[in-house]
Structure 1
Amino acid sequence: MTRWSQEVLRVARKRYSDEDALKVLREIDVHLHDGLDVVSSCRKAGISDKTYYYWRKKFGGMGRSQLSEMRALRKENERLKKILTELQLDKLILNESLDYLKPKV
């Protein structure tokens, strides 16, 4: 295996938290400001340019406070989805019970 393919495999296996991704994005922005191109900046940071563009799309110009707010909103959204599912199930059960209890004419 060549050195380049080993490096690609190493990079491909690493998982980044959202905070780490923001840190890498800021690092790449510094490299870009210093005149490096995107591919070289990404290589220095240890990620692919595809990952860079994905993170840019996902996080945009977010800071840490916005990231934590986004996480809180996602968590709240999941909680509300679970509540909605439970209420829909309750409604279904009540409607079926009502149909069962209605006198047949």
Structure 2
Amino acid sequence: MRRSRFTEDQIIGVLRLHEGRVKTADLCRRHGISDATFYTWKSKYGRLTVSDVARLRALEDENRWLKKLLAESMWDVSALKNLLGKN
């Protein structure tokens, strides 16, 4: 998946500028983004604060780690079943 040029903190900053009554077209032009990107950001990050984004990032990292543990465990079980089945 392609990484964004903007961090979550920067995205929140852009959305806060829009709340400060800056026009969407001017904001998009200033930051070099399209209107579609802006509205996608608004739907995803519109109600979040910087601390919420940090907590969300931590939860996503923990979820990624747990999925990795589960996959490794399932792989070990599958390998053991194959060894036991061949005897």
Q: TM-score range by the shorter chain?
A: 0.7 to 0.9
Contact 1:22–1:59, Cα closer than 8 Å, also in 2: yes
Please give the TM-score of this superposition, normalised by the length of structure 2: 0.84
Equivalent in 9, 16, 30 of residue 19 of structure 1? 9
How far did residue 65 of structure 1 move? 1.0
Moved over 4 A (4+): none
Relative to the length of structure 1, the TM-score reads 0.71
Q: Does 1:84 align with 2:70?
A: yes
Q: Which structure carries more relative contact order (alpha carbon 8 Å, separation 6+)?
A: 2
Identical amino acids, percent of aligned pairs: 35
Conserved 8 A contact 2:15-2:46: no
Q: Which one has the largest radius of gyration?
A: 1
CA RMSD of aligned residues (A): 1.7
Q: Number of aligned pairs?
A: 84
CA distance in structure 2 between the aligned counterparts of 1:31 and 1:43, rounded to whole angstroms:
15
Residue 58 of structure 2 corresponds to 72
* Structure 1 gaps, min length 5: 1-13
